């Protein structure tokens, strides 16, 4: 239960409100006590002076002791909360109205008395309580005159023992009950308001939590249907930002998992294809060598040479396939990085065409080079670019029928150098065009299933690493056209 944010916020609010309520109660009680003392002292400011004058405590310049005794007895009966003391000029208690057994002081401090006499409007001023060594209370005081000089002070404690006892009873009963009810009602109202506010504030968090849970239960493969961005196109606070960030993260994770699943399927398929393609020349080579070993005495020299030639051809095919596998793996792992440099693309294309001219003539093919030789300077890896051109022209020679034409055209589009390699062979089936650059993709060529090998996959990877591009289309007149685009050289790349 305590694991939810709403519950923790509610518990925190309750503890906070309880602490505030207790602090408010303490402050209120202290303030009320100070206020009550100030009011009491203000109302009875001249009480001591009036007692001296009204009760005729001073007669013929002398303190009338009998009148003082009568005053003590009178006020103990009329107002038991008042305690009257007669002090000398040193603050020593000379007479009093209280029970002698309850007097715990012999003298009181004169500093509060002087302060109140100097500024009667300053409230509250607390003086010593003769009944306690620690307690202080509000009082009223006046000098008691005599013939020559003041004889002392009439010191009246306004909130004596009787008052404290009555106040304690009232405080422990009605006042305490009312205070507790006021505190409980205030806490309840504040708690309900706070819980309602927290529920409104955490509503979006709960919705986002449900989206996260749904995304997790789907194996992180399904992007949340109700995206935060659709509901709140503007990021207004941290919760909106968290929702938008989760949407982006969930989309990327789902896409990456889908890509990983697809890559894993491609890896399994690639392993199966590699195993088959390695097994085929290996089995052929092994078969011819075993036949040569078992039937050597029955084979003519020409047949033995033919068997050896076939085995050697299959061995070279196997070696070439292994080399291509290592090359593609190095390119995929970025272990083999291009080293770009500026060079004239037309000259490189011309050299590659001349290199393949003999192979084209042997198959009765016409290999021509045309286009604009004044191309922008190319900025790429010379050896890698030659590797791609070799592959494209070799494929064109391999798949073109005898007597066909292979055109190599150089040019540029928007200042970007490009090379087109076109043949008039069978072309590529439309369903195979999107997959032609995938490793070991098998497509239909002239009605038979042929092997595409790794050459085109290597060419695509090389062009990607160099910042270029390679594309393929079918010509309307028949045949395929491969377009090779390379980045142009600029002074900033020098």
Q: How confident is the model at residue 329 (pLDDT cuts 50, 70, 90)?
A: confident
Indicate whether 482 pLDDT > 90: yes
301 domain-assigned: no
Q: CA nearest 194: which of 2, 21, 3, 16?
A: 16
The tokens for 276 are: 């088959």
pLDDT for position 218:
78
pLDDT at 132 over 70: yes
Q: Is 286 among the domain residues? A: no
Contact predicate 126/137, CB 8 Å: yes
Q: Where are the beta strands (DSSP E) in 305-404?
A: 341-343, 366-371, 378-380
pLDDT of amino acid 388: 92
- Could you say which of 201, 220, 247 is where a domain stops? 201
Question: How far apart, in Å, are the Cα atoms of 229 and each of 174, 224, 240?
Answer: 58, 11, 8
Q: Which of 105-119, 168-182, 190-204, 273-287 has the highest average model confidence (pLDDT)?
A: 105-119
Q: Quick one: pLDDT band at residue 348, thresholds 50, 70, 90?
A: very high
Contact 284, 291 (CB under 8 A): no
392 belongs to a structural domain: yes
- Give the pLDDT confidence score for residue 86 in this predicted structure: 84
CATH number where 467 lies: 3.30.565.10
% of the chain surpassing 70 pLDDT: 81
* CB-count burial class (<10 Å; 0-12, 13-18, 19+) for 252: exposed
Percentage of residues in the chain having pLDDT higher than 90: 15
382 band by pLDDT with thresholds 50, 70 and 90 = very high
Please say if the pLDDT value at position 170 is more than 50: yes
* pLDDT recorded at residue 389: 93
- Residue 84 has what pLDDT? 81
Reported pTM: 0.48
Lowest mean pLDDT among 177-186, 256-265, 349-358, 432-441: 177-186
DSSP three-state, residue 143? strand
More confident residue, 162 or 126: 126
Mean pLDDT of 325-354: 86
307 is a domain residue: no
Which range of residues forms the domain containing residue 179?
1-201
Can you give the pLDDT at residue 452?
Answer: 46
End residue of a domain, out of 137, 166, 201: 201
Reply yes or no on whether the pLDDT at 275 is more than 50.
yes
Directed axis angle between helix 5-43 and helix 176-201, to 10°?
A: 150
Compare 391 and 27 and report the one with higher pLDDT: 391
Q: How many domains is the chain partitioned into structurally? A: 2
Give the residue from 170, 201, 232 where a domain finishes: 201
Query: Which pLDDT does position 192 carry in this prediction?
Result: 83
- When the pLDDT of each residue in the chain is averaged and rounded to a whole number, the result is 79
Q: Is residue 20 part of a domain?
A: yes
CB 462 within 8 A of CB 384: yes
Query: Using CA atoms in the order 468, 472, 473, 478, what is the torsion angle rounded to 10 degrees?
Result: 130
Structural domain includes residue 27:
yes
Q: Please report whether residue 450 resides in a domain.
A: yes
Whether 393 is covered by a domain: the verdict is yes
What's the confidence (pLDDT) of residue 176? 61
């Amino acid at each position: 239960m305590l694991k939810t944010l709403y519950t923790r916020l509610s518990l925190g609010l309750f503890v906070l409100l309880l602490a505030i309520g207790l602090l408010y109660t303490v402050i209120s009680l202290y303030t009320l006590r100070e206020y009550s003392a100030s009011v009491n002292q203000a109302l009875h400011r001249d009480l001591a002076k009036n007692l001296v004058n009204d009760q005729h405590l001073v007669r013929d310049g002398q303190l009338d002791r009998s009148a003082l005794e009568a005053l003590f007895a009178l006020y103990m009966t009329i107002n038991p909360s008042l305690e009257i003391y007669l002090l000398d000029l040193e603050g020593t208690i000379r007479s009093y109205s209280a029970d002698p057994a309850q007097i715990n002081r012999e003298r009181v401090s004169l500093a509060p008395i002087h302060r109140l006499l100097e500024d009667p409007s300053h409230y509250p001023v607390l003086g010593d309580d003769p009944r306690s060594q620690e307690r202080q209370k509000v009082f009223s005081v006046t000098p008691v005159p005599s013939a020559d000089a003041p004889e002392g002070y009439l010191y009246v404690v306004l909130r004596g023992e009787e008052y404290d006892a009555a106040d304690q009873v009232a405080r422990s009963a009605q006042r305490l009950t009312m205070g507790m009810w006021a505190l409980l009602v205030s806490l309840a109202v504040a708690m309900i308001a706070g819980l309602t506010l927290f529920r409104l504030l955490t509503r979006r968090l709960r919705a986002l939590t449900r989206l996260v849970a749904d995304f997790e239960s789907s194996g992180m493969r399904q992007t949340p249907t109700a995206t935060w961005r659709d509901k709140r196109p503007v990021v207004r606070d941290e919760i909106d930002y968290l929702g938008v960030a989760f949407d982006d993260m969930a989309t990327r994770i789902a896409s990456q998992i889908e890509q990983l699943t697809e890559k894993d399927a491609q890896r399994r398929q690639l392993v199966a294809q590699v195993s088959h393609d390695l097994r085929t020349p290996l089995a052929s080579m092994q078969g011819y060598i075993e036949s040569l070993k078992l039937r050597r005495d029955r084979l003519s020299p020409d047949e033995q040479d033919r068997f050896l030639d076939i085995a050697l051809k299959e061995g070279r095919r196997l070696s070439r396939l292994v080399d291509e596998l290592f090359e593609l793996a190095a390119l995929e792992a970025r272990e083999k990085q291009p080293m770009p440099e500026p060079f004239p693309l037309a000259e490189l294309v011309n050299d590659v065409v001349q290199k393949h001219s003999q192979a084209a003539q042997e198959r009765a093919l016409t290999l021509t080079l045309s286009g604009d030789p004044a191309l922008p300077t190319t900025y790429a890896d010379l050896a890698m670019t030659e590797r791609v051109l070799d592959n494209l022209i070799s494929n064109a020679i391999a798949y073109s029928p005898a007597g066909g034409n292979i055109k190599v055209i150089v040019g540029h589009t928007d200042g970007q150098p490009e090379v087109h390699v076109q043949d008039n062979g069978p072309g590529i089936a439309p369903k195979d065009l999107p997959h032609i650059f995938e490793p070991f993709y098998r497509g239909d060529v002239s009605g038979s299933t042929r092997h595409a090998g790794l050459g085109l996959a290597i060419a695509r990877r090389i062009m990607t690493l160099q910042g270029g591009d390679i594309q393929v289309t079918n010509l309307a007149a028949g045949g395929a056209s491969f377009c090779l685009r390379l980045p142009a050289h600029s002074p900033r790349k020098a």
